[in-house]
Amino acid sequence: MIMDNMTIKNQEEIAPKIYRIEVTGPLTQQMKNPGQFVNLRVSKGIDPTLRRPISICDVDVEKETLTMIYRVEGKGTKLLAEKVVGDEVNILGPLGQGFPVEAAKPNDVCVLIGGGVGIPPLYYLGKQLVAAGAKVITILGFRTDKDIFLEEEFQELGELIITTEDGSKGVKGFVTDALKELKAYDLYYTCGPKPMLKAVEQTASTHGFISLEERMGCGVGACLACVCDLKERDKTTGKAYAKICSDGPVFLSGEVIL
């Protein structure tokens, strides 16, 4: 199974325009890989037409709940925010290749670097890294202190550094300003806007894993809407590009042209 209606169990605004939604259903059984995403259908009809990709933020496989965090941007997320407990949402997923938890060896220091709505997938990742015995340091970037979310949750996983552009909380500046100050770490995992990803790739002293975003058609690798260029041709397929929806959204640092 890869598509099912899931029932909304909880929905709340946790920061301005940022919503946490919890849905339930057996589809969660397959959602074991952090960094994967689902493709949501926010209405039954033709309006809007396309599904909306949203990352898996947390999964409770026993309780069969999937948590997502999203920002109200346009029509689709607005409709999603209007849904109430008990409503159903059609979900296609899990999709794509997530973050490799096994890339971190026990006691490795892993830095999670997230900006804005790139933060949610790092939470499920952080939980799994900790469970696997790795050490987690998290750097989360926000515009201002009012925008902060998931603070407590990340604190429970290890050290948490918050940066705000206006300095209203934590380090003033961008996530890379905090990253620069970090001494030793073994690898990083990052998700956020493209300029941030570029800056992180340049600033980091190790390799890492980068999660990308792109406008999507199908979400399953069939339409070629979401390609990015590879630095080198893929050795097995011979292709010069990768599909973010099915080959990604997570790539090894240096693998794709940002």
Partner 1 sequence: MSRIAVNLPGLHMKNPVMPASGCFAFGQEYGKLYDLNRLGAICVKAVTVEERRGNPTPRVAETPGGMLNAIGLQNPGLKHVLEHELPWLEKYDTPIVVNIAGYSVEDYMEVAREISKVHNVSAIELNISCPNVKEGGITFGTDAGTAAHLTDKVKSVSDVPVYVKLSPNVTDIVEIATAVEGAGADGLSMINTLLGMRIDLKTGKPILANRTGGLSGAAIKPVAIRMIHDVRQKVDIPIIGMGGIYEVDDILEFMMAGANAVAVGTANFIDPFVCPNLIDQLEDRMDELGIETLSSIVGRSSL
Ligand X SMILES: Cc1cc2nc3c(=O)[nH]c(=O)nc-3n(C[C@H](O)[C@H](O)[C@H](O)COP(=O)(O)O)c2cc1C
Residue 197 tokens read as 């990803």
Residue 125 tokens read as 């990742």
One residue of 48, 158, 193, 217 binding ligand FES per CB under 6 A: 217
Which of 193, 217 has the CB closer to ligand X? 217
Which of 45, 106 has the CB closer to partner 1? 45
- Is 41 annotated among the ligand-binding residues? no
86 contacts a copy of itself (rule: CB under 8 A): no
List, as one string, the DSSP characters of 39-99. Answer: EEE--SSSSS-S-EEEE--EEETTTTEEEEEEE--SHHHHHHHH--TT-EEEEEEEESB--
Of 187, 190, 89, 96, the closest CA to residue 139 belongs to 190
Q: Locate tokens 């948590």: which residue?
A: 67
- Is 52 annotated among the ligand-binding residues? yes
Residue 227 tokens read as 């390609």
Q: Which does 45 bind (CB under 5 to 8 A by kind): ligand FES, ligand FAD, a copy of itself, none?
A: a copy of itself
- Is 246 annotated among the ligand-binding residues? no
One residue of 11, 28, 33, 55 binding ligand FAD per CB under 6 A: 55
Rounded CA separation 166/228 (Å): 32
Contact assessment for residue 157 and residue 136, using Cβ atoms and an 8 Å cutoff: yes
Which of 76, 208 has the CB closer to ligand FAD? 76
Binding mask 40-59 for a copy of itself (x = CB under 8 A): ---x-xxx------------
- Residue 101: CB partners within 8 Å, gap ≥ 6? 33, 34, 125, 128, 129, 132
Which of 87, 214 has the CB closer to ligand FAD? 214
3-state SS, residue 184: coil
Q: Which does 249 bind (CB under 5 to 8 A by kind): a copy of itself, ligand FAD, ligand X, none?
A: ligand FAD
Contact segment (CB under 6 A) with ligand FAD among 152-160, 165-173, 175-183, 211-219 equals 211-219
Interface residues toward ligand X, by CB under 6 A:
217, 223
Binding residues (CB under 6 A) for ligand FAD: these are: 37, 50, 52-55, 68-71, 73-77, 117, 120, 213-216, 249
Annotated binding site for [2Fe-2S] cluster: 218, 223, 226, 245
